[in-house]
Structure 1
Amino acid sequence: MDVRPLYRQAADSTGRIIDTLGDEQLAMVTPCSQWRVREVITHLVDNRNRLLTNLTGGTPPAEADVRTGFRATTEALNTAFADDALLEVPYELLDTQYNAATALFVDFADTLVHGWDIGVAIGLEVRLPEDLARAAVKGISRWPDNGTIWGVNGLFGEKLPVDEAASPQEKLLAITGRSPQWTPVGR
């Protein structure tokens, strides 16, 4: 499976939400208890910059606005991964050697889920593209439950229980530690 189209679609979906954000919305709380909207976007930008630095040796110029930074790093990553050879470059993630395609998959899943986080934080009813949610669940669920993928210090939050008949979006939210019923306090 080529992860690049999935990544582009997730980045576009999340980018459309980020593009609508007003300055005051950057301070809103999110399902990521330690982060506000601004910090979620900063996290996405930082992850992309780390990936770009490790794979290409460079990043786009830093942007003062996290919204612009999201678009700049997305574009830079898409440009870098246009080179098929980059997919097989070794990449270390959580002290384990993978390839860059796996690192891009992690960024795809992270981007998709954080798009939901940002959207619900600002009061949107976010419907993730079903094919993307299904692909993310399929890939994430293959990873070993060895203490580095899920939990406080893992890539994703602690898994939540979910019904087998749940939608792909509900399954993705649960496997990444999110409740589909989350709403900001007071809303």
Structure 2
Amino acid sequence: MNTEPNPGTADVVRLVERAFDATVAVLGAVPAEGWDAASPCAGWTVRQVGNHLVGSLSLVDRYAREEPVSAADADSARYADVDLLGDDPAKALRAVAERCAAAFSAFDTLDREVPFVIGQVPGFLLTRVCLLESLVHGWDIAHATGTPYRADDAVIGAVSSFARRGPIEERRAAGMFAPEQPARPDDTEFNRLLAFLGRRLP
């Protein structure tokens, strides 16, 4: 379980919104032919990664609002094969991102226990899940399509802190994180984080 201190709802929501803004920009810049490209997520195309991201954030929104979630719906991997992007992927991601941010702000989510796929967790944890999903899958999509990605330094730092806490090997065994990849001594913090999470760097 994450023990990172909660810096305050307004600051956390602003950070989440910055993470979403960067990834929405990536989806808006993917060329038409890029959606069928293979992604760094094994077996998934870029479009499948985008579907998974929108589906995962929709789940977070439902948990934040304490809506019932069935076992089938809780499997975020299944959303890769559900068309959640439609004709305007950036708009689809923006819509669910705004719902998440609103839920974090409106329901005092960060200050109470909320349901999640692993059981009751601090609401603050949901914001870190959003940051990780948005940051890493934003990179997946950008890397696969040659699209520029301007990741926010504060988001990178928050995700790195979160990812390196808790039962790391259990997360790898569950498929949340892939096996760690080698990083070079001169790599950026973002590249070291990506390697830690199992992304192969060029």
Deviations 1:135-165 (A, max 9, x none): 2111211122242x124x3322222233565
Question: How much has 1:168 moved relative to structure 2?
Answer: 0.9
Q: Residue 156 of structure 1 contacts residue 176 of structure 1 at CA under 8 Å; is this kept in 2? A: yes
2:72 aligned residue: none
Hey, which of these two has a bigger chunk of helix by percent?
Answer: 2
Q: Which residue of 2 aligns with 1:175?
A: 196
CA offset digits 1:89-113 (Å, max 9, x no partner): 3234453531221022012111101
1:66 deviation in Å?
A: 6.2
What displacement does 1:69 show?
1.8
1:139 maps to which of 159, 162, 186: 162
After superposition, the Cα gap between the structure-2 partners of 1:156 and 1:107, relative to the gap in structure 1 and judged at 3 Å, is farther
In the TM superposition, residue 84 of structure 1 has moved relative to its aligned partner by 6.0
Q: Name the Cα RMSD after superposition.
A: 2.4
Pick 1 or 2: higher relative contact order, CA cutoff 8 A, min separation 6.
2
Q: TM-score, normalising length from structure 2? A: 0.76
Indicate the larger mover: 103-112 or 78-87.
78-87
Q: Match for 1:168: what amino acid?
A: E
- Give the gaps of 5 or more residues in structure 2: 1-6, 69-83
Distance in 1 separating the partners of 2:37 and 2:85: 21
Q: CA deviation at 1:8?
A: 1.0
What displacement does 1:14 show?
0.7
State the alpha-carbon separation in 2 of the partners of residues 126 and 64 from structure 1: 22
Q: TM-score, normalised by structure 1?
A: 0.81
Return the alpha-carbon distance in structure 2 between the equivalents of residues 75 and 101 of structure 1.
Answer: 17
Aligned twin of 2:177: 156
Identity %: 26
One-letter identity of the residue aligned with 1:102: L
The alignment covers a number of residue pairs equal to 176
